[in-house]
Amino acid sequence: MYYYSLNNYLKSTFGEKVYKISLNGGMTCPNRDGKIDIRGCIFCSRGGSGEFSADSCLPVSQQIEQAKQRIRAKSDCQKFIAYFQPFTNTYADVDYLRKLYYEAAMPDEIVALSIATRPDCLSDEVISLLDEINRFKPVWIELGLQTIHKRTAEYIRRGYELGVYDEAVLKLKSIGVNIITHIIIGLPYETKQNILQSVKYAGERSNGIKLQLLHVLKDTDLLTDYNNGVFKTLTLEEYVDVLCDCIEILPPDVVVHRLTGDGDKELLVSPMWSADKKRVLNTINKTFRERDVTQGRLYK
């Protein structure tokens, strides 16, 4: 393995393979409910980037049970991560969040609680709740940064400044939770240099990183710009080339949670090559081998 993969990290931390269970806490997002905007980030699907999560009408314990049954039908996995994925999963009343998080974190077979959110949705009350839970179950917080560049952040309608991310990182570090930052590769107007700057910045401040290829999805404003020829999506070769450079500049102890993207194929418009995940991963690994991207820094 040419990078510190999530699987390696999970095996060395928990001693065996661990599956993520995608949960739906029924949240919305300030970028959609009108607090900041009603349009959402320009690339975000109607499902709030969580097309594979469970039904929010079900209690969390039931969502977990159903997911466990599905996973156990194809593997003997005993340990799971409870992952609140769609929309902004700290954007609610703290009493509601407490009930939700406790229900997800309490079962013995849940080894960590992972929460996807925005850096501007981490009030002091939420931080204190995360601290409380992190004392008995590891908490991971995923921050959707996507880019450090102001112009791109405005174009994608992220809705917060880089300084807000910096403040969130400091707060999260002070309570010792695991920080995972999302970066999108291939955003309109960004050069390879821009992408590497974002990855370096996030890598120096995070325990883990999710590198996500830009997907153009149906029913998004990004699709309108794409159809109007405002930008092109990356080819597989271009993506792998920049990805290798990103991996090379990451600190060796930063866990790589994602190398491509797991978009919903029903919604995907471009790049269509990304739907063939096996081919993408084979090309990535072949290129890693050829370029020796980690300069001999191999992970078992």
Nearer CB in complex with ligand SF4: 45/63 = 45
Query: From CA 214, how far away is CA 269, in angstroms rounded?
Result: 11
> CB-based contacts of 216: which residues, under 8 Å, 6+ apart?
43, 222, 223, 226, 233, 268, 269, 270, 271
In angstroms, give the least distance from the CB of 59 to ligand SF4: 22
Range in contact with ligand SF4 (rule: CB under 6 A) among 37-45, 57-65, 123-131, 171-179: 37-45
Range in contact with ligand SF4 (rule: CB under 6 A) among 27-35, 63-71, 194-202, 224-232: 27-35
Under the criterion CB under 6 A, does residue 29 sit at the interface with ligand SF4?
Answer: yes
Range in contact with ligand SF4 (rule: CB under 6 A) among 24-32, 75-83, 123-131, 195-203: 24-32
Nearer CB in complex with ligand SF4: 260/294 = 260
Write down the number of H helices and E strands in the chain: 10, 9
- Cα–Cα nearest to 2, from 184, 178, 252, 182: 252
> Which position among 9, 80, 87, 155 is part of the footprint of ligand SF4 (CB under 6 A)?
87
In angstroms, give the least distance from the CB of 139 to ligand SF4: 19
Size of the site for ligand SF4 (CB under 6 A): 12
Nearer CB in complex with ligand SF4: 127/156 = 156
Q: What is the 3-state secondary structure (H, E, C) of 149-168?
A: CHHHHHHCCCCCCHHHHHHH
Cβ-contact 197, 148 below 8 angstroms: yes
Query: From CA 36, how far away is CA 28, in angstroms rounded?
Result: 12
Range in contact with ligand SF4 (rule: CB under 6 A) among 42-50, 123-131, 238-246, 286-294: 42-50
Nearer CB in complex with ligand SF4: 144/203 = 144
DSSP state of 188: T
Under the criterion CB under 6 A, does residue 203 sit at the interface with ligand SF4?
Answer: no
Nearer CB in complex with ligand SF4: 88/134 = 88
Tokens of 59: 């209690």
User: CA-based angle 282:285:288, to the nearest 5?
Assistant: 150
> Which position among 4, 22, 24, 31 is part of the footprint of ligand SF4 (CB under 6 A)?
31
Nearer CB in complex with ligand SF4: 158/205 = 158
Under the criterion CB under 6 A, does residue 32 sit at the interface with ligand SF4?
Answer: yes
Under the criterion CB under 6 A, does residue 210 sit at the interface with ligand SF4?
Answer: no
Dihedral of the CA atoms 150, 152, 153, 156 (nearest 10)? 160
Q: Say which residue the tokens 């960004």 belong to.
A: 190
Under the criterion CB under 6 A, does residue 215 sit at the interface with ligand SF4?
Answer: no
Nearer CB in complex with ligand SF4: 32/68 = 32
Quick one: which H or E segment has residue 145? Answer: strand 139-146
Amino acid identity of residue 158, one-letter, is R
In angstroms, give the least distance from the CB of 41 to ligand SF4: 3
Cβ-contact 78, 47 below 8 angstroms: no
Query: From CA 23, how far away is CA 25, in angstroms rounded?
Result: 6
Under the criterion CB under 6 A, does residue 49 sit at the interface with ligand SF4?
Answer: yes
Under the criterion CB under 6 A, does residue 41 sit at the interface with ligand SF4?
Answer: yes
Query: From CA 295, how far away is CA 249, in angstroms rounded?
Result: 11
Q: Which residues bind ligand SF4 (CB under 6 A)?
A: 29, 31-32, 40-41, 44, 48-49, 87-88, 118, 144
